[in-house]
Each structure stands twice: as structure tokens, then as C-alpha cells.
Amino acid sequence: MKTKKQFQSPKGTFDILPEDQKYWEKVRKVVARVALGYGFERIDTPIIEDADIYALAGGETADVVEKQMYVFKSKGGDMLALRPEGTAGVMRAFLEHGMAQLPQPVKLYYIAPMFRYEQPQAGRYRQHHQAGFEIIGDQDPVYDAQLIHMYLVVGEELGLKSLSIEINSIGCAKCRPTYRAQLLRYYRSRTAKLCKDCKRRIKKNPLRLLDCKEEKCEQMRVNAPNLIDHLCQECHDHFKNVLEYLDETGVPYVLNPHLVRGFDYYTKTVFEVFLEDEHIEGGNEKTHQRAKLALGGGGRYDYLAKTLGGRETPGVGAGLGMERLIGVMKKQGIKAPPLYKPEVFLVQLGVLSKKKSLRLFEELRKAGIVVAEAFGKDSIKAQLRSADRLGVKMSLILGQKEAIDGVILLREMETGAQESVEMEKVVKVIKERLKK
């Protein structure tokens, strides 16, 4: 005899249960409020795109493109990919819908699920969510600084503590070849010690060597040449201006000369947002070290539009991981207001009372009063226990006699005091009581 299969969410995914929705709603509201305050408008792109968009934009050697994309062939024969990141799809929409004709720059934001096939771990899932901001159509370094500042503002408005910014410039098509030669010279005698992925990267895209998370590769990176020392004058001036704008707005940052990003479309400014955190090793409170948790990042992508078939159009953007933001909020004890907090509980007893309660429920709801009920229960005691658990201020009790007489009992839950109120006046009476 076959046993019934116990279905679970697929590996690397999770359900957002009702008790967690308040955190998600708080993040969405803060992101939207900050975005609108800085002049951003919302865009929603499909979760599927032509797979070639990501191969062209991110580069075929990027881990996301090479290993982590969910790619499938449609019934019509098109090769499609579940969206692994937000920027490429937004740029495709920018080009497709003629947004270059709008006043520049165009500022867009999104809150959307992303999909990456990778080994699940804390704060990293195969389906995860990002809040992203994109500024397209202007190469002024002031927008790099504004974007970075916005990310700190989002963190501050969420109540997060100990945020830090790491920043670097990875140059442009003019100055990067010289640095690439220097980097290859440095790693040539060390190739045998590199991890398997980096041995492949050194042939196809040496800059990605700086992004490896393997311990032995991280150690070798310490003495690698700094790209910032090989910037052309244009990139040098751009980066200098970005830092001066950050200084002017009081944004704290750390220069990380080996910081790069995982996609080939980035140029000039790149940055990451971290949470500085203390963690205990081996359970010994006397031995601890500072750990960094990456919450998001981004940078400038001045060649992306041309790569996707449009005219060369500058842009800068970044994303924040919502799962990690919410995890930090919980760890730091940041509260999120409940989405559902009833003020009144409607108690009924008997068929006639239940019928009248349905109509009264709608009247209360339309009056802006958050009301709860347990229409399926017949016991007054059971319904009042439910009212107690919800912490409502008042209960309205409607029995058969009250329904016939056209009145209702108003019960103050804190004191237990009750009074009879005419049915047609009950909404007005409750609104007045709730104001006090």
C-alpha cells in the first residue's frame, strides 16, 4: 500500500506566514516612502525574461549566469529564465518603452522576487526578494552618492543599527585593460593555488578573481594590485566626486580597493551595504570577532543599455535583500506594527442575531472600525474568550431578545461594565468611545 506523499515547499524556498507579514509590510512601506521621497516611480517587470538578456548583461562567466539561473524552453521554443536580478529587466523595459524620450534621469524602483539556483543558507534562498532602485539616463556622480545615501536612509527608517558602506571604483573600458594585465601578472605564479572556479576565471574574466569567497583565494587577494591605482583621469575624477558628495551628506564609508560586483555590466562606482555584527565563536563569550553581513549593493552600469541593443545610456542602481533585512530587524528587536488589530468584537447568539450581526459587521467596517467575529461559534463565553485573546476594547453582544428589541449590549472589556445601546446608534456610540 502506497503511503501518501507529504508535500513541502521546494528546497531553498519558504512560506511567509501571517505572523511575519507585518515585517514584510513594514519594509515595503519604508522602501516605497523613501523611493517616492527621492522621486522614484514603481516598475514591475515579468519574472521571466529572454535568457540571453542575462547572459549579455551579466557576462557568461558570472556565477549567476553560469551556475545559478533557472533556464527553460517554452512550448514555443523560446529560451526563458526566471529573473535572477532586477537591473537587466528594468533596462530592457527602459529601452522597449522608449523611456529615453522622458526627462532624464528616469528613476525607477521595484520590490520583486528573484530566483537563483544555489545552495540555500541563512538569509540566502533560491527564491528571495529584493528592493531595488535604478537611476537611468545621467552619468553625474551625484546620483551614485544619492543612491548610496538612500540605502542608509532605508536602514535608518527601518530602525537598523550598525550599517556600513564599502565602496570602490572598478574603472571603465579605457582603464581596465591596463589593470587586467597587472592582475594577470600578479596571479600568474599563483595559479596552481587558486580554487577550481578561479582557475577558470583567470582565463575568461580575471577581475572576478577579486570576488571569490574561498578562503585561500581571499588570502591571495590581500596583496593583489588595486584597481583604484590604475584609473584613467575620467574615472578618477568621477570617484573623487562621489566620495566628496558622500562626505558632504555625512555618509560613513570605507574604501575597499578589492571590492567588485558579480556582473560584467558594472563600471566605475561599486558599493555594498553591510551590517557590522558581533558573533561568538565556540560559545566562549571572551573570544569574539566582528562579522559582516551583506544586505545589498550595486553600482554604475554605463554600458548596459548598449549591450542590450540600445544607445549608450548611463545608469546606476542597487538592490537590498529583503529576507536579510527582516532577519536583522528581528535580531535587533525592531518592532513592526500588527496589520490586523481589531477594536471591537461582535458576539451573537441565535439564528436571528447572526443574521443581524452580518449586516452590523458591514456597517462597522464601512465606518472604519476594525471589527472581529466568531460567527461559527454559538457559545457567548467562547466568543468572549476570543475577544479577550484579541485584546479588543469593547464587545457587542447580540442575543435573540436584543435582536427582537432592536438593541445591543456594549461591554467594556477592561471593566466588564455593560449597557444597552439602540441598534441604529451603536456605530456612532462606538466611534465616540474609541476617540477617548
**213 falls within a domain:** no
Nearest 5°: phi and psi at 393?
-80, -35
Q: 28 exposed, middle or buried (CB, 10 Å; 0-12, 13-18, 19+)?
A: middle
Residue 339 lies in a domain: no
What is the tens place of the pLDDT at every residue in 365-376?
999 999 999 999
- Residues 256, 355: one domain? no
What torsion, rounded to 10 degrees, do the Cα atoms 411, 413, 416, 417 define?
-40
How confident is the model over 78-111, as pLDDT tens digits? 999 999 999 999 999 999 999 999 999 999 999 9
Identify the weakest region by mean pLDDT among 39-43, 47-51, 212-216, 296-300.
212-216
pLDDT of residue 59 exceeding 80, the answer is no
Q: Does the pLDDT at position 290 exceed 60?
A: no
Do 269 and 405 belong together in one domain? no
For residue 356, the domain's CATH number is 3.40.50.800
- 3-class DSSP assignment, residue 272: strand
0.95 surpassed by pTM: no
State which of 270, 300, 331 marks the end of a domain.
331
Kindly tell me if the per-residue pLDDT of 324 is higher than 70: yes
More confident residue, 111 or 278: 111
- Alpha-carbon gap, residue 158 to 162, rounded angstroms: 12
Least confident residue range of 118-122, 254-258, 275-279, 329-333: 275-279
Asked, for residue 294, whether it belongs to a domain, the answer is yes
In this structure, the number of other CB atoms found within 10 A of the CB of residue 50 comes to 15
- Residue 204 in domain: no
Same domain membership, residue 397 and residue 266: no
Q: Please check whether residue 184 lies inside any domain of the structure.
A: no
> Among 276, 296, 331, where does a domain finish?
331
**For residue 217, pLDDT beyond 80:** yes
Residue 97 has a pLDDT of: 98
Say yes or no to pLDDT of 61 above 70.
no
Please write the tens of the pLDDT for every residue from 32-57.
999 999 999 999 999 999 999 998 88
Q: Residue 91 falls within a domain, yes or no?
A: yes
Tell me, what's the pLDDT at 422? Answer: 95
Question: Which pLDDT score is estimated for 123?
Answer: 66
Regarding whether 282 and 152 lie in a shared domain, the answer is yes
According to the model, what pLDDT value does residue 291 have?
A: 63
Q: Is residue 396 part of a domain?
A: yes
Cα–Cα distance measured from residue 353 to residue 397, given in angstroms and rounded to the nearest whole number: 9
Report, as an integer, the average pLDDT of 164-170: 94
Rg of the chain taking only CA atoms, in angstroms: 28
pLDDT digits 0-9 by tens, 126-140: 999 999 999 999 999
Number of domains observed in the structure of the chain = 2
For residue 206, CA distances in Å to 99, 185, 199, 217, 298 come to 35, 11, 9, 13, 20
In a domain, 105, yes or no: yes
Of 113, 47, 64, the C-alpha closest to 323 is 113
Average confidence score pLDDT of the chain: 90
Strand 315-321, strand 267-280: pairing: unpaired
Instruction: Please check whether residues 56 and 156 belong to one and the same domain.
Output: yes
Please check the confidence at residue 199 and state whether its pLDDT lies above 70. yes
Give yes or no: residues 322 and 358 share one domain: no
- Give the range of the structural domain holding residue 53, as residue numbers without chain letter: 18-175+231-331
Asked if residue 382 and residue 292 are part of one domain, the reply reads: no
Which of 331, 358, 391 is the endpoint of a domain? 331
